[in-house]
Amino acid sequence: MILNDANPLSAIPPSGKILALDLGTKTIGVAVSDAMRYSATPLETIKRTKFTQDAERIITLVAQNQAVALILGLPLNMDGSEGPRVQSTRAFARNLSQKLDLPIAFWDERLSTSAVTRMMIEADLRRDRRAEIVDKLAASYILQGALDRLRRG
């Protein structure tokens, strides 16, 4: 079930872990919440291959973490409009919803990667190390924003 953009978190169950995805063209960053939904933790970066293989890995991660919902970062343009990357993310969600019986919500991910990159630069991480972890950290950043909103109601 893909949730409505007007109230994107409305059908997420009130408890249980949530998995978040930051969909890139080459990788998918994955993060998971704790059961109490206080914090988001980077989980892994999936190297993208074909949709079926990517979906299988996501389904495995959902099962391993007993996730009750998925949140996908929605890469809106800075003016809030939707471009080709948003269409691609929505198509991925539609296809994934046919393989996974969980609510799927979208969360505005504007500036998530740049915010995470800025934090890593400030932490003095080497460029090659930043490249390895940026996607799963961006997924964690996206998820933390959604968790904060869920707690506020």
**pLDDT score for 2:** 56
pTM: 0.86
pLDDT beyond 70 at 130: no
The first and second tokens of residue 5, run together, are 């953009």
Domains of the chain: 17-152 (3.30.420.140)
Of all helices (H) and strands (E), which one includes residue 106? Answer: strand 104-108
- Three-state SS at 102: coil
Range of lowest pLDDT (14-18, 107-111, 131-135, 143-147): 131-135
More confident residue, 11 or 144: 144
DSSP secondary structure code for residue 93 in this structure: H
pLDDT beyond 70 at 33: yes
pLDDT beyond 90 at 76: no
